[in-house]
Each structure stands twice: as C-alpha cells, then as structure tokens.
Amino acid sequence: MITIAIDAMGGDFGPLITVPGALKCLEIVPDLRLILIGDENQISPLIPRNLQSFVEIVHTDQCISMDEKPSRALRGLPNSSMKLAIQAVSEKSADAIVSAGNTGALMAISRHILQTLPGIDRPAIMARLPVKEGATYMLDLGANVDCQAEHLYQFAIMGAAFAAANGHVIQPKVALLNVGVESIKGNQQVRLASHQIAQSEALNYIGFIEGNELFSGKADVIVCDGFVGNVALKASEGVMRLAAEKIHDRFSVWWLRWLGLMLRPFLKSLTKELDPTYLNGALLVGLQGIVVKGHGSSDVQSYTNAVMQAYREVANKSNDHFEEIMNQIEF
C-alpha cells in the first residue's frame, strides 16, 4: 500500500475540495491509503462509508492561512495540518504529502522537518511542462522569490538530475530563463549563474532561453528564480485556459457543432494535455522526502491530479532515482 498524507485544511477552500479530490484517487488506484489531517468535524461527513477503511483522520484545529508568514507558520503553529502532514513523511507513516496551502510555509516547514539533500541550500518547486515531444522541467516556480547565483546553479543541478532519472535523458539540456539570449542580458545574478553553470562538467548547458520558448522543447530543464517562474507559469496557464475556452466557443456555433462532435475525442485529449486543471501538482525537489504542491485555487479534479502526481512519484520511486544521481554529482 502507498500512503499519502493530505493537508486537508490547505488551499482556498479546505476540506470541501481536498477531501473529495483525494477520495477520487481511491477509485483510480487500488493500493492507495490516505491520511487526512485537519478538523475532523469538517472532514468526517465528507467520507462515504465504503471508503472509510482506506482513510485515517488525524484531528487538529490548527490551520495555516494562505497569508500566514512562514516564520509564524513554522514556530507558532506546532500542530497545524500542514506540519503534521509533513511529519508523517518524516516519521515514515506516509510516503508523500500533498498540500495546496501557503507556499512559503510549505517550503519552510518541509525544509525544517525533512531537511534538504547534501549540497542543496533551498528546495525548489518544479513542474513538468507540456512540449511537442518529451518533457521540459521548470524550476523554481515560487518557493524562492529572491535567489543568488549559487541557488540557481543548485536548481540546475537538481533539474538535470531529475530529468535524467525520470525523463530517460542521458545529458539533459539545461537553459536559464532570461530577457534575451545575448550574454550581456539579464540581471547580475542570472549572468553570474550562467557563468557558474557553464563551468560545471556535470551540466549540459545551452545558455539563455526566452519566455516564448518555454514550450518549444529546446531545453530539457529551464531554470529561474521563484518570482519569474511563478509569473511565467501563471501567465502560461492563463493563455492555455483562454485557448481551451476559445476552441470550445468556436465549436459551439450551430453550423460547426457537427464538426465539434466528430473532433470531440481529439479536443478532449488536447484539453487534458494543456488545461492547467490536468497539470496540477508540482514537486518540491531537493528534500529528503516527497512533497507535492497543488494550486491554492484547486478544484476537485485538479486536486485529484495533484494527489495522483504524488502517488506516481512514490510508485515509480522517482525520488530514489533522483537521490542516486544527486549523490554522484560533484558540486
């Protein structure tokens, strides 16, 4: 059995989304067990009787709000649903944790309890971007708003190691996200990071990449600080959602409705590839444990996908393969 701890109180809507979203996973995979951590009075009524044997509820009345300062969340709320969920991974009673809660708090508490891998100062949020062929991994997507060149270099190492472990790429191509491809472009930290990454024999560095090439497949790993990464990701998600709505609207016109019916399987498949709802679930890499971050505004389906992402990470032993490669790299 694979056990996943759920921060049931995390996110904009709490148990009304997290509990049904997590329970849907029990219908998809037979070897899953859930630990739902939060207010039992809110959680328990949402669990059908036929699923109760697959679920454990850990009660707590402490919850980290979305605007809580990370320092307060770490020290002032010792029994928060997020902290207890992370502790479950640390104590080996859970294989992974999923939270749609406060990003800063999730990073601070995970870093404090699980600890980072040797040579890594900060964990980073990483997601898999849809490209024409294969995959592109992008980090950081919001965990570290201000980064030094050394941090960007470490993100490059982690991204390349993960791509090699899970993308079956021998020498992943690494790029830095920048405002131009010329060597003089970008702020000082990006230019310093570019020089440091280029000097590393462990990395296959291809230089700078611009925002319009995020989904080109030109790079296997795209590195940036959390501020730039989060803005780029949210903007991309907005464009993807707009494109999906535009396609739907076009085929809603009565004289194109028949064509829409013929293309429905194709359009449904395309939506799953591009719609942010189906892409929810980013990994907090660099930790000694599996932590998956869901969107704060997750609906039931997107939260289900975040939990399934955690399940796949455990089932595929992705973190084990990642750590093996990290241990072989000289920083």
- Concatenate the DSSP letters of all residues of 67-112 into one string: T--HHHHHHT-TTBHHHHHHHHHHTTS-SEEEE-S-HHHHHHHHHH
Query: Sorting pLDDT into bands at 50, 70 and 90, what band is 258?
Result: low
* Same domain flag for 202 and 102: no
On the question of pLDDT at 278 being above 60, the answer is no
On the question of pLDDT at 204 being above 60, the answer is yes
Query: Sorting pLDDT into bands at 50, 70 and 90, what band is 256?
Result: low
Judged by average pLDDT, the poorest of 65-79, 267-281, 317-331 is 267-281
* Same domain flag for 270 and 131: yes
* Same domain flag for 158 and 215: yes
* Same domain flag for 131 and 271: yes
**In a domain? residue 327:** no
On the question of pLDDT at 259 being above 70, the answer is no
On the question of pLDDT at 267 being above 70, the answer is no
Per-residue pLDDT reduced to its tens digit, 141-189:
988 988 999 999 999 999 999 999 887 678 999 999 999 988 888 899 9
- Residue 189 has a pLDDT of 94
Whether this prediction's pTM lies above 0.75 is answered by yes
User: Can you say whether the dihedral through the CA atoms of 277, 107, 84, 73 is positive or negative?
Assistant: negative
- Residue 263 has a pLDDT of 62
* Same domain flag for 11 and 56: yes
On the question of pLDDT at 279 being above 80, the answer is no
* Same domain flag for 273 and 129: yes
- Residue 249 has a pLDDT of 73
As for how many domains the chain has, the answer is 2
- Residue 69 has a pLDDT of 92
Question: Residue 40's domain spans which residues?
Answer: 2-115+287-318
* Same domain flag for 233 and 185: yes
Q: What is the CATH number of the domain that holds 296?
A: 3.40.718.10
**In a domain? residue 308:** yes
What's the whole-number mean pLDDT along residues 121-149? 89
